[in-house]
Structure 1
């Protein structure tokens, strides 16, 4: 039976009203955003933070152990901030565990905040993550996998939305130096993390680690790259000290000119 014309919007204004109502309903279903506390990141994100009812992917900038550690700590720092409230627990799933617990604790993710789950293969890890997301009782779910196709990421995104629980998918392993973020995904954001040389100190020692944080893709937003200092004891990133000083100097100069 053909659709009666009276059932359709009769004017562009009515069509616009319908679209706005649908958009509002979609946004109402999405979780609150977890901001990084840095305007240089938050203002560039479509949600001004990470959607806590969505899937977010992370990969290392290279197959080196240094970049792998940086990407792991980037994920751990986000998980630590999501589990700040007492009683909030993170589920971390993988096929093989080589996590360095003291390193996780240094970015705020202590042993009292983490449950570990292990699967024999990626399919089991993804199934564990999906069930945990739908339960809705965890601060977030972290999964390390060699690969995840479009169907798997779509299921994780739907489960994260249903349970209003953030999903952090660490695409850890590489094949022939091909970045795992080059494959299609349903993730809300996709991040690539690499190490940079730390700042030289005026005395012997090692400065705070620095990372190159690249947002490769985000839904409804643009990509960007920033040089940042690594996570502190609360899992928070920071601008390099030189950049902070330069910004303060520019503000002082502007105030004097006024």
Structure 2
């Protein structure tokens, strides 16, 4: 029987250890880093301390309303913007209907020069284009919008994300009232539900920073949770709402009656 040798027999222990360190460093250099949200209350609850950069993640609106659909889209766009900035690469966004609002994406940091759009006629075309983009391995992220994706499709995307060391974000649209898209089985590493929440009251007339309910419905190796967060800024970053003691005092007297 032949014997596998890491190094020639004449090699010293020091040379063998050096060889192993180089091999481990090479493997680690090809691994996709996790992207933290940089919010301790969020990252501390994630099994990977951030979003796995070589896995499938799913996002759905909390309700089939335009406001929640917009919030879910901007949530994904903000993450993709940060991925693009971190890797200096482009984002592939695949749709079956072209209804994205480019100025809105740019407001959360995802500028047109960072985007590649593709359009598929059916959900299966969107999924196939996503898989090709993921296996390419040179993109910052791949996003796809579908109404239906079964367990087999999600497994294929997960395998492609791992092979290409590229994060996949599957945005699931509502198909019928009362049935959340995330009730379907999936191989995704994380599954998120995003909805709009009331903004904080301002001391003067105006519109405050939007707020979202960010619910992690499921994660591999961790527990679900829900947080109230302020929407993405122009760099794609979320924020915790200001603590009560740091908020502006509410208007009183004549100012309150005039509001």
- Measured against the shorter chain, the TM-score band is 0.7 to 0.9
The residue correspondences of 1:188-207 to structure 2 (distance < 5 A) are 188-207=189-208
| Residue 141 (structure 2) aligns with | 140
- Could you tell me whether the CA contact under 8 Å between 2:143 and 2:171 is conserved in 1? yes
Per the normalisation by structure 1, the TM-score is: 0.82
In the TM superposition, residue 190 of structure 1 has moved relative to its aligned partner by: 0.2
Tell me whether 1:82 sits opposite 2:88 in the alignment: no
Tell me whether 1:239 sits opposite 2:246 in the alignment: no
| Residue 255 (structure 2) aligns with | none
Inter-partner Cα distance in structure 2 for 1:234 and 1:244? 27
Inter-partner Cα distance in structure 1 for 2:211 and 2:236? 14
Q: What whole-Å deviation, never above 9, does each CA across 1:210-237 have from its counterpart, x for those lacking one?
A: 0000000000000000000000000000
| Residue 127 (structure 1) aligns with | 128
Tell me whether 1:31 sits opposite 2:32 in the alignment: yes
Inter-partner Cα distance in structure 1 for 2:242 and 2:134? 38
In the TM superposition, residue 86 of structure 1 has moved relative to its aligned partner by: 7.3
Q: Give the aligned CA root-mean-square deviation in angstroms.
A: 1.8
Inter-partner Cα distance in structure 2 for 1:177 and 1:97? 25
- Could you tell me whether the CA contact under 8 Å between 2:87 and 2:140 is conserved in 1? no
Shift of the 162–86 alpha-carbon distance from structure 1 to 2, 3 Å rule, reads closer
Shift of the 244–101 alpha-carbon distance from structure 1 to 2, 3 Å rule, reads farther
List alignment gaps of at least 5 residues for structure 2.
1-23, 248-259
Inter-partner Cα distance in structure 2 for 1:196 and 1:87? 33
| Residue 187 (structure 1) aligns with | 188
| Residue 217 (structure 1) aligns with | 218
3-state SS of the aligned residue for 1:124? helix
- Could you tell me whether the CA contact under 8 Å between 2:88 and 2:140 is conserved in 1? no
Inter-partner Cα distance in structure 1 for 2:148 and 2:178? 14
In the TM superposition, residue 31 of structure 1 has moved relative to its aligned partner by: 2.8
Q: What whole-Å deviation, never above 9, does each CA across 1:131-174 have from its counterpart, x for those lacking one?
A: 01001010000000011000000000000000000000000233
| Residue 99 (structure 2) aligns with | 98
In the TM superposition, residue 241 of structure 1 has moved relative to its aligned partner by: 1.3
Shift of the 108–91 alpha-carbon distance from structure 1 to 2, 3 Å rule, reads same
The structure that has the greater radius of gyration is 2
Shift of the 30–220 alpha-carbon distance from structure 1 to 2, 3 Å rule, reads farther
Runs of 4+ in 1 over 6 A off after TM superposition: none
| Residue 164 (structure 1) aligns with | 165
Inter-partner Cα distance in structure 2 for 1:173 and 1:119? 18
In the TM superposition, residue 32 of structure 1 has moved relative to its aligned partner by: 1.7
In the TM superposition, residue 94 of structure 1 has moved relative to its aligned partner by: 0.7
Inter-partner Cα distance in structure 2 for 1:98 and 1:195? 20
- Could you tell me whether the CA contact under 8 Å between 2:55 and 2:161 is conserved in 1? yes
In the TM superposition, residue 177 of structure 1 has moved relative to its aligned partner by: 2.5
Count of residue pairs the alignment pairs up? 221
